Amino acid sequence: MKVIADLCIVPMGVGPSVSRYIREVRTIIDGSGLTYDMHANGTNIEGEMAEVTAVVEACCAKLHEMGVERIFCTMAFSTRNDKVQTMVDKLTALNSDA
Amino acid sequence: MKVIADLCIVPMGVGPSVSRYIREVRTIIDGSGLTYDMHANGTNIEGEMAEVTAVVEACCAKLHEMGVERIFCTMAFSTRNDKVQTMVDKLTALNSDA
Amino acid sequence: MKVIADLCIVPMGVGPSVSRYIREVRTIIDGSGLTYDMHANGTNIEGEMAEVTAVVEACCAKLHEMGVERIFCTMAFSTRNDKVQTMVDKLTALNSDA
Amino acid sequence: MKVIADLCIVPMGVGPSVSRYIREVRTIIDGSGLTYDMHANGTNIEGEMAEVTAVVEACCAKLHEMGVERIFCTMAFSTRNDKVQTMVDKLTALNSDA
């Protein structure tokens, strides 16, 4: 099942600044080969549900390895079967009259 | 990786009342054998990440089969490696002084 | 506008165990007089949008006072105008055939 | 309290294609004067908590006026008091070694 997900990974217990952890997350997502776009509050990523969730799990495993004892994560996604749609298509639809 | 997740599945495009779909979701979650607790805005569920996400995917697949063309889903979860914790443990911790 | 919300407040940077903070959150929510139900991953709360968000802000302000420098918070809610519905009604609907 | 929020508004019961509603949401957010950035799965917006939640409520009210009987909405945000940070700062931090 194809999903377009918005992922947010929150390292807990390691101080208020977490960008060094989010850079590791980005490296893992980038290495997955999936289409993604990092924004100010998370990362949009598209792929098969099992691929996307495997990437999320790999990110969490890496943060645990780096010493993050607890991680909070949100993943919002949509799936549709009336048509094939990408992240780019969603933004394009917003800017058309269709 | 063990997770405690809060899952919310939102059928889109099928009218404002969705309880018949949520009953199907409950049936699938119940059949999974995972520990869960349905509340007013979603379902808490605990298990291995891959088990939980497979259940989520099965729920979405079922709703598509039932004619729901688009589904929005949120999954918030936490994972920790400093100790083993269940949903019941989390609520117990709130009611103790520890 | 009446909302039924699911609120999750995540104190960052204060170690993996956060129940003493969540107890303060519960005290504030309880003092608000709004109907609420705390579950393993968050708190369901119902009321006018402005009331609910004022409670959320008060919770965050309290945690900052307690020394939490960064807080991540999720609030998922639904609003409907086809009928008046409470959190209890939602759970009742799941258990009926209507 | 200043927040950087990620907002997702999901019109339910009006078919799988919702871009005409999301365009109205964008118009309202744009008219608020708050800094925002729309991405494939939602909109990042920064401002005072009460300003941001007032915009969210205005968006929901508008969709109800347009005939959407039920709306599901997620708002994830973070607040910090150790430093002043904007959405741009967050992305900049990711690309620096600091």
User: How many domains is chain C partitioned into structurally?
Assistant: 1
In which band, very low, low, confident or very high, does the pLDDT at B97 lie, cut at 50, 70 and 90? Answer: low
- With beta carbons less than 8 A apart as the criterion, state whether B68 and B10 touch: no
Q: Name the stretches of chain C with pLDDT < 70.
A: 97-98
Structure tokens at C16: 């993996």
Average pLDDT, chain D: 94
Is A16 an 8 Å CB contact of chain C? yes
Give the C-alpha separation, B78 to A70, whole Å: 7
Beta sheet of C42-48, edge-to-edge order: C35-39, C42-48, C2-12, C70-80, D70-80, D2-12, D42-48, D35-39
pLDDT digits (tens, 9 = 90+) for D20-38: 999 999 999 999 999 999 9
Residue-range definition of the domain harbouring residue D34: 2-95
In which band, very low, low, confident or very high, does the pLDDT at D95 lie, cut at 50, 70 and 90? Answer: confident
- With beta carbons less than 8 A apart as the criterion, state whether C70 and D79 touch: yes
Once rounded to an integer, what is the mean pLDDT over residues B83-98? 84
pLDDT value at position A98? 45
- Chains A and C form CB pairs within 8 A to the count of 31
CB atoms near residue A94 (< 10 Å): 15
Q: In Å, how far are C8, C86, D9 from D64, measured between CA atoms?
A: 26, 18, 12
Give the C-alpha separation, A86 to A4, whole Å: 7
ipTM: 0.92
Is D30 an 8 Å CB contact of chain A? no
In which band, very low, low, confident or very high, does the pLDDT at D97 lie, cut at 50, 70 and 90? Answer: low
pLDDT digits (tens, 9 = 90+) for D47-65: 999 999 999 999 999 999 9
Task: Name subunits touching D (3+ CB pairs < 8 A).
Answer: A, B, C
Choose the mutation target among B3, B30, B39 for the interface with C, i.e. most C CBs under 10 Å. Answer: B39
Residue B86 has pLDDT above 90, yes or no: yes
Domain of C63, CATH number, reads 3.30.70.930
Once rounded to an integer, what is the mean pLDDT over residues B26-53? 96
pLDDT digits (tens, 9 = 90+) for A41-98: 999 999 999 999 999 999 999 999 999 999 999 999 999 998 889 999 999 988 885 4
pLDDT digits (tens, 9 = 90+) for B60-82: 999 999 999 999 999 999 999 98
Q: How far does Cα C18 stand from its chain's mean position?
A: 16
Residue A48 half-sphere exposure toward CB, CA atoms < 13 A: 6
pLDDT value at position C96? 80
